[in-house]
Amino acid sequence: MSVTFPLLIDGRWRAGARDRILAVINPATGDRIGDVALAERADLDEALAAAERGLAEWSAVSPWQRGALLKKAADLLRADAEDAARTMTLEQGKPLAEARAEVLRSADFLEWGGEEARRISGRMIQGREAAQSIQVETHPIGVVAAFTPWNFPMALAAKKFAGALGAGCSIICKPSEETPGSAIALARALLGAGVPQAAIAIVFGEPAEVSSYLIPARAVAKITFTGSIPVGKLLASAAGQVMKPVTMELGGHAPTIVCGDVDPEKAADFLARAKFANSGQICLSPTRFFVEESVRARFTARMVEHARAWRVGDGLDPQTQMGPLASERRVEAVSKLVEDARDRGAIVAAGGERLGNRGFFYAPTILTDVPDEAAILREEPFGPVAPILPFSDEEAMLAAANGLEFGLSAYVFTGDAARQKRLKDALQFGAIGINDVVSHPPDVPLGGWKESGYGTEGGIEILEPYQKVKFVSLR
């Protein structure tokens, strides 16, 4: 049954000014499941005016009460977890268990942002003269424009809502038009908890049109974006033209180093689950597998075994281990990378093909003998493809691991404590997993190095990107 996914502006769920819509597709079937309303400039003007009013209203609420309302929103979202997860699976494709976990993690972010709101404080500094003191105050930065992607359509928005609202800001969020229902469910929980209607907005539209209008808007004080490096650069450049601060969580291409002292089968068991989670559409996903020569054959054989046996299907089927890719566009992009590697001499040890003639399924894929010039070693694959790269020279391997512009996450698998430290210290990435693959719980600050981002989200620092500081000298 088809549904309409509306805009949320000033507390009203409604169509855009010109009634433009875009079809929302179930990636498991290719069927249209609804239409999303698209905003015009008139709608964005209304959202901006409301956000300014919402900023005044919400920032006047005490941090303690803001924390209580965000905790209530988290509880409402948890109560709605089953319906919200089903919506997410229908529009994004991930297995229902993964969708449910994302909803619960989104609730955790709201609660965490509320808890940190209750810890907002200033400080007093004794001046240099006896009659002087200096007061340092923390204030909400202002109206926030947030841009969020489709791969984690609720959690990546929840991070931004938690930080911005916890700090006392109002927020206009433009989620992906491919996955509108997840952001709408998040907003409903916030409104249901009592967050002022004018303090939050959800707008959909043509991405370049919306971003080019919101970023320079006088009312907007802060931009936050999660997505690819090329788009992040465009948005950061636009923000720089009007001297507005940005937070950017951008792409990754995580080197995953498997050393010769580990059990290669156990490492492969663990890494297959991490690689094929969300169909590989995770910026933190392990993507370049550097495997020491002594265990390469065994590790590869086990990864191939997993890839061939992995159950791919509709995310609503409880037997499914991996759902479809999110769109036809993603299938084409992954296919292009695999074919480029194959044409350059790589061996497709498993997968390497589209599955079925309905929906956007791509087989879990293992590549070996991948030449250095293959595009997949330079471009983020964002799909269920694992290139396995043998190494025997640690220094040369590290040069390759650090040799790209990406600096989001990296992984080391070894039981040797000295080697753990040596590799951890050498890797130029913002998040390192040692015998583990990282995710992003709310209590951890995540941020990329190099071109993988600017600033962090989460942790005790979650409010900082959405705050500004004033000092007052008292005599």
How would you write 191-211 as a 3-class SS string? Answer: HHHCCCHHHEEECCCCHHHHH
314 forms beta bridges with none
The per-residue pLDDT for range 263-287, each reduced to its tens digit, is 999 999 999 999 999 999 999 999 9
User: From CA 297, how far away is CA 349, in angstroms rounded?
Assistant: 12
User: From CA 269, how far away is CA 271, in angstroms rounded?
Assistant: 6
Instruction: Report yes or no: 252 and 287 within 8 Å, Cβ to Cβ.
Output: yes
What is the distance between the terminal CA atoms of the chain, rounded to a whole angstrom? 68
Domain at 254-434, CATH from 3.40.50.300, 3.90.1150.10, 3.40.309.10, 3.40.50.2300 = 3.40.309.10
Active site residues per annotation: 249, 283
pLDDT means per 10 residues, the chain with 475 residues, are 88 96 97 97 98 98 97 98 98 98 98 97 91 94 98 98 98 98 98 98 97 98 97 96 97 97 98 98 97 98 98 97 97 98 98 95 98 97 98 98 97 98 98 96 96 96 97 93
Write down the pLDDT at residue 1. 52
Burial pattern 224-251, b for ≥16 Cβ within 10 A else e, equals: bbbbebebbebbbebbeeeebbbbbbbb
User: From CA 464, how far away is CA 458, in angstroms rounded?
Assistant: 10
Domain boundaries, the chain: 3-250+450-474, 254-434
DSSP 322: B
Write down the pLDDT at residue 446. 97
CATH code, residues 3-250+450-474: 3.40.605.10
Instruction: Report yes or no: 371 and 345 within 8 Å, Cβ to Cβ.
Output: yes
Chain centroid to Cα 96, Å, comes to 18
Instruction: Return the number of other C-beta atoms located less than 10 Å from residue 422's C-beta.
Output: 15
**Which positions ≥6 away from 422 have C-beta within 8 Å?**
none
Please state the length of the chain: 475
Write down the pLDDT at residue 3. 85
User: From CA 441, how far away is CA 121, in angstroms rounded?
Assistant: 24
Write down the pLDDT at residue 423. 98
Instruction: Return the number of other C-beta atoms located less than 10 Å from residue 14's C-beta.
Output: 13
Q: Give the pTM.
A: 0.96
User: In Å, how far are 217, 225, 378, 413 from 210, measured between CA atoms?
Assistant: 11, 13, 30, 43
Instruction: Report yes or no: 28 and 93 within 8 Å, Cβ to Cβ.
Output: yes
Chain centroid to Cα 438, Å, comes to 13
**Domains 3-250+450-474 and 254-434 alike in fold:** no
| Mean pLDDT across the chain | 97
Burial pattern 315-337, b for ≥16 Cβ within 10 A else e, equals: bbeeebbbbbbbbeebbebbbeb
User: From CA 155, how far away is CA 100, in angstroms rounded?
Assistant: 11
Instruction: Report yes or no: 166 and 114 within 8 Å, Cβ to Cβ.
Output: yes
